[in-house]
Structure formats: C-alpha cells, structure tokens
Amino acid sequence: MTSNSEIILKTQSITKSVSLENKQLHLLQGIDLTVYKGETVAIVGSSGSGKTTLLSLLAGLDLPSQGEVYLKNKPLHQLNEEDRSQVRADHVGFIFQQFLLVNSLTALENVMLPAELANNGNAKQEAQALLAQVGLSDRGSHFPSQLSGGEQQRVAIARAFITKPDILFADEPTGNLDKKTSNHIADLLFDLNKHYDTTLVLVTHDLLLAKRCQRSVEMKDGHLVDQSIVQKPLAEQNQEPHQPIINPANA
C-alpha cells in the first residue's frame, strides 16, 4: 500500500532508440513516470509496445538513450554497470519474462543465489521456505531443464523475493501459470507489498492482476498514453480474500 509520498522511482523524458540495419528504431519515446514507495503499479499494453524495454530501464538493467531515471534517488542513467548492479543488489527484485534462471544451478541454488551474494548466512533456510511458499518444496534439487515453464516461473518469483527488495519489477509474473497458481502468485506478490511495503511494478496482460494494482499505466507504440486508466481508492485495494501467505516472522 502507499504509505507515504516518498518517491522511489522517477523517470524524466526517457527514450530508447536502437539501430537495426542502418535504421533507427525508437522503442521508447519520452516516458515520464513517478512511482511512490509502497505503490502497486501495473504496466499494460499490447505486444511490442515497449513494456519490457521500459522495465529494463526502470530497473537499471539497461541505459536510456536520453533522459533520466532515478531509483531511490540514485541517478541510474549516470551510473556504470558495476554501480547499477550494486543499486539492484541493494534495492531491486526482478522477475524476467523469460525467467533467466541459471541452468547449471538447481532450483534451490537459484533461489539462494541473490541472498548468498548479499552474504546472508541464512540463505538456504530462507530459500527452502520460499520454495515452499511457491509450492515447490519437492523440486529444490531439479535443474531448470527439469522443470515445467510454470515451475521455472515460480522459482524466478522465489528468487526475486529472497532479498525482500524495496521495489519488485515483474514482467508477466503470471504469464505461464494456470488460474489457481496465478491467483496464488498474485496473493504472494500483494502480501509482499503489504507486509514489507515492497513497491510492485508489474507488466501484465492479465487484467485481473492489473485490477488488483492501485494504478495502471498503458504503453502504446513506445509512449505512455494513459497514467490513470485504473485508479482505485486505497480502501478498495487488495481486498481479494485469502489467507496471508507471507508470515513476516519467518518469511
């Protein structure tokens, strides 16, 4: 939930252009977006509109061609890869559209990895607890090639949760899941938001998931065309009844 008016993420006039076969492609054209700490924001829009490109700039995975991106007041557009990766390690969780699990590591090791990089001595126990929360207790020793698409997605979700990031970017987090699992994962995401004030920025084609967010913004041909297509009062948000999944005492 939005707990205060602290800005966690702000972009000013960002553009992204690439050259392809001697032509300039303008993937993003002047995006201004402000996200407050604890907010839940859905980015919607048709395939190819620029959602994944935008998310990678917001998370500091890539640099804009022009414009400014501030995450936790850090000017990502001015930082080199090493400094951006430090900002990501300190503050960001990312669930990729293609999961990007490490193929040579088991499911458990994949989930443990960010916690180990952050020198968390409890990485194994926390990873096991998270695998249980995404329903994969019995798949910890499987390598990604031995998991279904939906299972890989859930491992990627557990991996993104383990550092309890300030802001979680998720690209189609429920894209490969059946309705029941998808609802469960959505509950998990919103529990994270509720218990840890984790800001959520979700790219999704799933209108039910988008509707659970406080705000939706729409991408169209590289532009952000509507910043308020869904805007709900706080009291109406996150009201889908469910048993809390994350227990802050042991998550």
Residues in contact with Mg ion by CB under 5 A are 52, 97
Instruction: List the one residue from 1, 6, 13, 18 that touches ligand ATP (CB under 6 A).
Output: 18
Instruction: List the one residue from 2, 11, 49, 193 that touches ligand ATP (CB under 6 A).
Output: 49
Site size for ligand ATP (CB under 6 A): 13
Give me 224's structure tokens.
Answer: 């952000």
Q: Are 246 and 191 in contact (CB under 8 A)?
A: yes
Binders in 57-116 for ligand ATP, by CB under 6 A = 97
DSSP 64: -
Q: Does 47 bind ligand ATP (CB under 6 A)?
A: yes
Q: Which is nearer to ligand ATP, 45 or 165 (CB)?
A: 45
Q: Does 144 bind ligand ATP (CB under 6 A)?
A: no
Residue with tokens 């048709």: 46
Q: Does 225 bind ligand ATP (CB under 6 A)?
A: no
Give me 233's structure tokens.
Answer: 């009062």
How far is the C-alpha of 202 from the C-alpha of 200, rounded, in Å? Answer: 6
Give me 15's structure tokens.
Answer: 């553009």
Draw the binding track, 181-220, toward ligand ATP (x: CB under 6 A; -: no contact): ----------------------------------------
Q: Does 31 bind ligand ATP (CB under 6 A)?
A: no
Q: Which is nearer to ligand ATP, 66 or 97 (CB)?
A: 97
Q: Does 52 bind ligand ATP (CB under 6 A)?
A: yes
Q: Are 94 and 161 in contact (CB under 8 A)?
A: no
Instruction: List the one residue from 27, 123, 170, 210 that touches ligand ATP (CB under 6 A).
Output: 27
Q: Which is nearer to ligand ATP, 11 or 53 (CB)?
A: 53
How far is the C-alpha of 38 from the C-alpha of 100, rounded, in Å? Answer: 26
Q: Does 25 bind ligand ATP (CB under 6 A)?
A: yes
Which stretch of DSSP H or E encloses residue 127? helix 123-133
Give me 5's structure tokens.
Answer: 């008016």
DSSP string, 75-122: EGGGS-HHHHHHHHHHHEEEE-TT----TTS-HHHHHHHHHHHTT-TT
Q: Are 158 and 111 in contact (CB under 8 A)?
A: yes
How far is the C-alpha of 231 from the C-alpha of 249, rounded, in Å? Answer: 32
- The item of Mg ion, ligand ATP, none sharing an interface with residue 18, based on CB under 5 to 8 Å by kind, is ligand ATP
- The item of ligand ATP, Mg ion, none sharing an interface with residue 27, based on CB under 5 to 8 Å by kind, is ligand ATP
Residue with tokens 């959520």: 200
Q: Does 170 bind ligand ATP (CB under 6 A)?
A: no
User: To the nearest whole angstrom, how small is the minimum distance from the Cβ of residue 107 to Mg ion?
Assistant: 24
Residues forming the site for ligand ATP (CB under 6 A): 18, 20, 25, 27, 45, 47-53, 97
